[in-house]
Structure 1
Amino acid sequence: MTGGLAITLAGVAGNIISFMVFLAPLATFRQVFTKKTTGGFSSVPYVVALFSCVLWIFYALIKTNSRLLLTINAFGCGIEFIYIAAYLVYAPRRARLRTLAYFFLLDVAAFGLVVALTLKAVGPQQRVKFLGSVCLAFSMAVFVAPLSVIFKVIKTKSVEFLPVGLSGCLVLSAVAWFCYGLFTHDPFVMYPNVGGLFFSCAQMGLYFWYRNPSNAAVLPTTTDAGDGGAAVHQVIELPVHTVAILSVGPVPVVGVHKIEVRAIEQHTDAVNPKVAEIDKPEVIEIVAAL
């Protein structure tokens, strides 16, 4: 395989995968359009993504001969701008003002400062290196952002907040763009994707580790047989201070028609009617045994 063909294949693969990554928030905005509100969604990821796209567009223009890098970031710039505009339409007033502040601070002021420094304070021979270093530092900061999600998954032992589909696409995207940077001898494209590959693989590993929790508690239950034994009414008795979380999965509880959670009545001492203080409620997750 010639060098030019390898560069083209890696760049086209990176464009296709990154295209899918940019379209991933469509499901979120479908809910926004349906409910006519942004709810608790944050605009920060879209503002940051827009800043990243305009930075890489500027880098591709300064470096030249980076058409594949230019095309995908131009598309990303357009789609992120649409996301931000939609957010501004449906967001509450305070969230809208915060979004505008983030937009002007990062996408206008910070980007304008980078452009001014690149064109006015840096010589023509050093512009690619300077701008590439800025893109490298910012990309690494963006890739470190999922650490909060990783810590949350480890702490809760739940993959509820882990978008495994997006993580898989990010793994493929990091591989494609790493190869593109390697073949074009561009360290500013290559090195950030090493970090992206590491954190994306870490998220995938956590998903497969915690997707079937093995630490679910075994709870005291009683069963009442239905007519003919076809259906079973399963009663799970928990102390009143326990918070029960029922995980509903695609696999039903075999033979169980209904699950009911009841609180066990607390008994107090007749002489000294004092209920023990409970500092923190116990959380038990109820899952189907596969």
Structure 2
Amino acid sequence: MEFLQFLSCACIVFTVGMFSTGLADLKKMRASKSADNVQFLPFLTTCLNNLGWLYYGLLKSDGTLVLVNLIGACLQSLYIFFYCHYTNDKRRITAQTLLAGAVLCGGWLYFSVLLPQGESQLSQLGLTCSLFTVSMYLSPLADLVEIVRSRNVERLSFSLTVATFLTSTSWTLYGLQLQDYYIMVPNIPGIVTSLIRVFLFWRFASVVEGMPAYKPIHI
């Protein structure tokens, strides 16, 4: 098996596995008949991210990008549907969903109609998707600072951390092999933030286990 084909398989397996972690939230919502303890925006922003990369993959004729993000968009849409069904704050959720739909339509109009087809269209779409992905990877940094201050890692998911690390690493190597920096560069922050989470798990694991805590880190 060629290395690029191996990376393609790794990207598919790890990314679908990462997207599937939302099934735990789906199970929680169905069991409690409530969406009170589940965050909605990650589902919505991930769905937008998937659709952007899906379009990029179609323009590049990249089957790996198309397959992964098609599955991701379907899963996120499923999570959104169940969240809308179980939430008590339907007005706010509907407004956020409609706003996301307007952004999606505006993006489609710009990239498909206003921009001429060709390298400019592909590069601008790739840059937009890259910036959006970077912002998603960096958005939890505020939570990580709070975790350092509280020395409590209960809000972190170790399985999601590992899945994010494997996914980001495989996509970084995949983009490097293709010499596509729009794929490679935005996944580097995912590797970095995942390693930070692993360090926090190691550093503050004793707090969760009820053992004597380490001395606090001053930042």
Counterpart of 1:121 in structure 2 is 114
Q: 1:183 to 1:98 in 2, by over 3 A?
A: same
Match 1:208 to one of 185, 189, 202 = 202
Distance in 2 separating the partners of 1:171 and 1:29? 23
Aligned pairs, number: 212
RMSD (CA atoms): 1.6
Q: Superposition pairs for residues 168-247 of structure 1, below 5 Å?
A: 168-213=162-207
1:90 partner letter? Y
2:5 corresponds to which letter in structure 1? Answer: T
* 2:22 maps to 1:25: yes
Q: Is the 8 A contact 1:149 1:162 kept in 2?
A: no
Q: Which residue of 2 aligns with 1:142?
A: 136
| Greater length-normalized contact order (CA 8 Å, ≥ 6 residues apart) | 2
Could you tell me how far apart the structure 1 residues matched to 2:97 and 2:6 are? Answer: 34
- Is the partner of 2:206 in helix, strand or coil? coil
**Aligned 1:250-289 pairs, distance under 5 A:** 287-288=210-211
Closer/same/farther in 2, CA of residues 138 and 288 from structure 1, 3 Å limit: closer
1:148 Cα deviation (Å)? 2.0
Q: Give the structure with the larger helix fraction.
A: 2
Distance 1:97 1:183 in 2: 45
The yes-or-no answer on 1:89 pairing with 2:85 is yes
What residue is the counterpart of 1:71 in the other structure?
67
The structure with more radius of gyration: 1
TM-score (norm 2): 0.92
Question: Among the aligned pairs, what percent are the same residue?
Answer: 21
Question: What is the 5 A alignment of 1:153-164?
Answer: 153-164=147-158
**Partner residue in 2 for 1:236:** none
Aligned partners of 2:211, 2:193: CA distance in 1, in Å? Answer: 30
What's 1:267 paired with? none
Instruction: Quote the offset at 1:149 in angstroms.
Output: 2.0
| Higher strand proportion | 1
Partner SS for 1:124: coil
Q: What SS class does the counterpart of residue 103 from structure 2 fall into?
A: helix
Paired letter, 1:124 = Q
Alpha-carbon distance, 1:121 to partner = 2.4
* Moved beyond 4 Å, runs of 4+: none
- Please give the alpha-carbon distance, in whole angstroms, between the structure 1 residues aligned to 2:193 and 2:63: 27
Q: Is the 8 A contact 1:149 1:161 kept in 2?
A: no
CA deviation vs aligned residue, 1:224-279 (integer Å, no higher than 9, x gap): xxxxxxxxxxxxxxxxxxxxxxx6x4xxxxxxxxxxxxxxxxxxxxxxxxxxxxxx
Alpha-carbon distance in 2 for matches of 1:193, 1:74: 19
Structure 1 match to 2:217:
none
Gaps of 5+ in 1: 214-246, 250-286
Partner of 1:132: 126
Q: Which amino acid aligns with 1:199?
A: T
CA distance in 2, matches of 1:288, 1:196: 30
Distance in 2, matches of 1:60 and 1:115, equals 14
